[in-house]
A and B are shown apart, each in its own frame.
Chain A
Amino acid sequence: DTEVTQTPKHLVMGMTNKKSLKCEQHMGHRAMYWYKQKAKKPPELMFVYSYEKLSINESVPSRFSPECPNSSLLNLHLHALQPEDSALYLCASSRGGGSQETQYFGPGTRLLVL
């Protein structure tokens, strides 16, 4: 099973709202990722957690706040977003160590900020 699940599938929020995106995997992977993807562009890395610790933050604005409660779960908390933050948000996971790392993506959350 190589499944990464994400909820919700779609989200519409106002600029003053607070919302959270959720991601889950049960492959025993120890690295989890958040990406942002605009239409017709490649995924753009936001954060990486390895062994439940934040290891990469690609200078993401503080209105995006990641959280890794345990090795299977990854959240992205959203607050005071801007319309330009509208995008497909993708979660991914990989084994987290060793030479043969393979990264699997979830289906994404389509976010619209009004």
Chain B
Amino acid sequence: GQQLNQSPQSMFIQEGEDVSMNCTSSSIFNTWLWYKQEPGEGPVLLIALYKAGELTSNGRLTAQFGITRKDSFLNISASIPSDVGIYFCAGRASGTYKYIFGTGTRLKVLA
């Protein structure tokens, strides 16, 4: 099925560093969601974005809905070991229930 381009594919960082990842689409979305998934668990919703240009924070996480409506960004500040996991973006176009998922960013944090 269709997937969004998500980068980077994986990141190995030191504890305390900031992290940035992004998703790009060839089509316009009106909703962007960011999830974190740990092994054997379901994805957990981190941030939801509904408006072009919107910037939303959830603790150390900040996400933005790109102005073109074809991309979104997630930043994690001052990473900690429990940030380890796979981060997925998901976009949805108007008039459909279908979410398109990014390929995922695997994050590992070294203490």
Contact = CB atoms under 8 A, between A and B. Distances in A.
A3 to B, nearest CB: 11
B48 interface: yes
A103 B50 contact: no
A41 B43 CA distance: 12
Given A42-B104, A108-B42, A101 B98 contact: no
B12 to A, nearest CB: 16
B98 A45 contact: yes
Interface residues of B, number: 26
A56 B31 contact: no
Contacts of B107: none
Contacts, number: 63
Nearest to B30: A99
Given A90-B43, A94-B97, A103 B33 contact: yes
Interface residues of A, number: 31
B28 interface: no
A40 B41 contact: no
B40 A55 contact: no
A107 B38 CA distance: 10
A73 B17 CA distance: 43
A48 B97 contact: yes
A101 B95 CA distance: 11
B97 A55 contact: yes
B45 A2 contact: yes
B50 A88 contact: no
Interface of A: 2, 4, 6, 31, 33, 40-45, 48, 50, 55-56, 58, 88, 90, 94, 96, 99-108, 110
12 contacts: A42-B103, A43-B43, A44-B1, A45-B98, A48-B97, A55-B97, A101-B92, A102-B48, A104-B45, A105-B43, A107-B42, A108-B40
